[in-house]
Amino acid sequence: MKLICIGRNYAAHIDELKNERPEEPIVFIKPDSSILPKEQDFYIPEFSNDIHYEVEVLIKIKKVGKHIAKEFAYTYYDEVGLGIDFTARDLQSKLKAKGLPWEKAKGFDGAAVVGKWMPKNKYENTDNMEFSLLRNGQNVQIGNTSLMLWKIDELISYVSTYFMLKKGDILFTGTPAGVGKVSPNDYLSGTLEGETMFEINVK
């Protein structure tokens, strides 16, 4: 399976990193080996001094599809979740400056937190879900899927024109503003519509 990730999907996050607003979704892939095993602590890798958390709403793809029309995208998922796209920001900045691929900064072991899954019909409207990340009990990121530049169904349609989606693939839908650095002994937790979806200790 693969993790398909969207960059720069919330205007306020684009501004905080002083990035340009993209004309199309920015897409990258994390390998399945980047998933942090359940119940395992996140270890800051030795190659970075600036690991950032990015909380993101996740979509689990339930069947094979390519060239999926936006109108049918909702039939490709039944479950939503919440996770973290950990990013070695220092390494990413270096690679970006040279025009090189980001994979090392985004796809390292443990760089993808996948929390628990919820049936999508638990929520009235997946395009209006509030989510947040707490660092040591303090809210550091608060987002709402209504603020996505490209909504879930548009993203599924868009990415499926490049990558065949397969059952079990996970879509990371982008992070809102408030990204920041993690430090050893941090405790991170994420909520979706008020419910805790994951808890992570940083080492």
Which spans of this chain sit near Zn ion (rule: CB under 5 A)?
A: 54, 85, 175
Does residue 110 contact residue 38 with C-beta atoms inside 8 Å?
Answer: no
- CB of 98: closest distance to Zn ion in angstroms? 20
Residue in 41, 65, 73, 79 with CA at minimum distance from that of residue 170: 79
Token pair 């985004």 is found at 106
Q: Which residue is nearest to Zn ion (CB)?
A: 85
Nearer to Zn ion by C-beta: 54 or 169?
54
Tokens encoding 17: 């990193």
- CB of 172: closest distance to Zn ion in angstroms? 6
Tokens encoding 111: 């760089």
- CB of 52: closest distance to Zn ion in angstroms? 9
Does residue 56 contact residue 85 with C-beta atoms inside 8 Å?
Answer: yes
- CB of 86: closest distance to Zn ion in angstroms? 9
Residues 6 or more apart in contact with residue 197 via CB below 8 angstroms? 81, 82, 83, 115, 116, 118, 190, 191
Nearer to Zn ion by C-beta: 78 or 158?
158
Nearer to Zn ion by C-beta: 13 or 120?
13
Nearer to Zn ion by C-beta: 27 or 186?
27
